C-alpha cells in the first residue's frame, strides 16, 4: 500500500528551538518525497523535495530508506515558520500525509 | 510569477444540484490535477488529466464527477448531483512534467459547501 504517515497533528515550540516534523512512508518502489507548506490563508506550496537535497528557509529533510522516513528538520525555528506542513509521496499523483501544524511561539 | 487560479473561492449549493469548479492552470503546463480536502482530513487525489484525457482517477472519482478542458486555458471539475459528503476544499494543480520529482503548483482552492 502507498501511504504517508505524519504522526503529529500539532507541534508547538518556542522561537529558536529545534524542530523535527516526522514523516514515514510506505511504498514498494524508489520513493520521491516532498514537503509542502501552507501558510495561513495561502496556497499549498512546495518547500523541498528529497531529490534536490537542498535547504530551503533553513529546513532540511533526509530520506532514510531503512526507516522509510523523510523527517523535516530546522535547527532554530522562527515565528514565520508557523504553518501546516504536509509530507507527500509522488507516484505521478501526490499522496499526502494528514499534515502537522507547526506553531512557533515568541 | 504565474499562478494557478480557481473560481469561485467559495460555493454553496443544495444537495442534488450540479456544480462546476473552475481552474486556470499555469499557461505552459501540460498536466492537470484535482485534489480535495474534507475538513480535518488529508488532501486526497481525485484525478489527473493530460492531452485532453484522464490519465488516472481515484476511487473517489465516480460517475458523478467529470473533468473537462473546454478551451486552451480552463480546466473544470463538474459534480453532477452533489451530496453532503462532497463538502470539502477542492484544489486544482498543474505541472509541466509528470516526472515523479516534478513540482505540482496548487491553486488557492474552492470551498464547496453542500447543504
* pLDDT tens column, B75-85: 999 999 999 99
CB contact under 8 A, A44 and B42: no
Cα A86–Cα A90–Cα A91 angle in degrees, nearest 5: 145
Question: How far does Cα A67 stand from its chain's mean position?
Answer: 16
pLDDT at A92 exceeding the cut of 90: no
Q: Is B9 on the interface with A (CB under 8 A)?
A: no
- Count of beta carbons in the 10 Å neighbourhood of residue B98: 17
Cross-chain CB nearest to B43 (options A34, A86, A90): A86
CA dihedral A106, A16, A49, A10 (to 10 degrees): -50
CB contact under 8 A, A46 and B103: yes
Task: For B78-94, give the DSSP string.
Answer: EESS--GGG-EEEEEEE
Of B19, B55, B75, B42, the closest CA to residue A85 belongs to B42
CB contact under 8 A, B45 and A97: no
C-alpha to C-alpha distance for B91 and B35, rounded to whole angstroms: 5
pLDDT at B17 exceeding the cut of 80: yes
Chain B window 62-91: which residues touch A at a Cβ cutoff of 8 Å? 91
- Mapped onto helix, strand or coil, the DSSP state of residue A62 is coil
Residues of B within 8 A of A98 (CB-CB) are 41-42
Express as a percent the part of chain A with pLDDT over 70.
Answer: 100
- pLDDT digits over A54-72, tens only? 888 999 998 999 999 999 9
CB contact under 8 A, B42 and A94: no
pLDDT at B7 exceeding the cut of 90: yes
User: Lowest-confidence range among A51-60, A84-93, B18-27?
Assistant: A51-60
Question: How far does Cα A60 stand from its chain's mean position?
Answer: 9
Residues of B within 8 A of A36 (CB-CB) are 106
Phi, psi of A17 (to 5 degrees): -80, 155
pLDDT at B44 exceeding the cut of 80: yes
Phi, psi of A16 (to 5 degrees): 90, -15
* Shortest distance, CA B9 to any CA of chain A (angstroms): 12
3-state DSSP of B16-79: CCCEEEEEECCCCCCEEEEEEECCCCCEEEEEEEECCEEEEECCCCCCCEEEECCCCCCEEEEE
User: Lowest-confidence range among A85-94, B24-33, B95-104?
Assistant: B95-104
User: Lowest-confidence range among A48-52, B51-55, B107-111?
Assistant: A48-52
The average confidence (pLDDT) of chain A is 94
* Shortest distance, CA A75 to any CA of chain B (angstroms): 25
Residue B68: C-alpha distances to residues B26, B28, B41, B47, B49 (Å): 16, 17, 26, 11, 9
Q: What is the mean pLDDT of residues B40-64?
A: 94
Predicted confidence band of residue B18 (pLDDT cuts 50, 70, 90): very high
Looking at residue B70, what is its pLDDT?
Answer: 86
Amino acid at each position: 500500500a502507498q501511504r504517508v504517515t505524519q504522526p503529529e497533528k500539532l507541534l508547538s515550540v518556542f522561537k529558536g528551538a529545534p524542530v523535527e516534523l516526522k514523516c514515514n512512508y510506505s511504498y514498494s518502489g524508489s520513493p520521491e518525497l516532498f514537503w509542502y507548506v501552507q501558510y495561513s490563508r495561502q496556497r499549498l506550496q512546495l518547500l523541498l523535495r528529497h531529490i534536490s537535497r537542498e535547504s530551503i528557509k533553513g529546513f532540511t529533510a533526509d530520506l532514510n530508506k531503512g526507516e522509510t522516513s523523510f523527517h523535516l528538520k530546522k535547527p532554530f525555528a522562527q515565528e514565520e515558520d508557523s504553518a501546516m506542513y504536509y509530507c507527500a509521496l509522488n507516484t505521478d499523483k501526490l499522496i499526502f500525509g494528514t499534515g502537522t501544524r507547526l506553531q512557533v511561539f515568541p | 510569477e504565474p499562478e494557478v487560479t480557481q473560481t469561485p473561492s467559495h460555493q454553496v449549493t443544495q444537495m442534488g444540484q450540479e456544480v462546476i469548479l473552475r481552474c486556470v492552470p499555469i499557461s505552459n503546463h501540460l498536466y492537470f490535477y484535482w485534489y480535495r480536502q474534507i475538513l480535518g482530513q488529508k488532501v486526497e487525489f481525485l484525478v489527473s488529466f493530460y492531452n485532453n484525457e484522464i490519465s488516472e482517477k481515484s476511487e473517489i472519482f465516480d460517475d458523478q464527477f467529470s473533468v473537462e478542458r473546454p478551451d486552451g486555458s480552463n480546466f473544470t471539475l463538474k459534480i453532477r448531483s452533489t451530496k453532503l459528503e462532497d463538502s470539502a476544499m477542492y484544489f486544482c494543480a498543474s505541472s509541466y512534467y509528470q516526472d515523479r520529482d516534478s513540482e505540482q503548483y496548487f491553486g488557492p482552492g474552492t470551498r464547496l459547501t453542500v447543504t
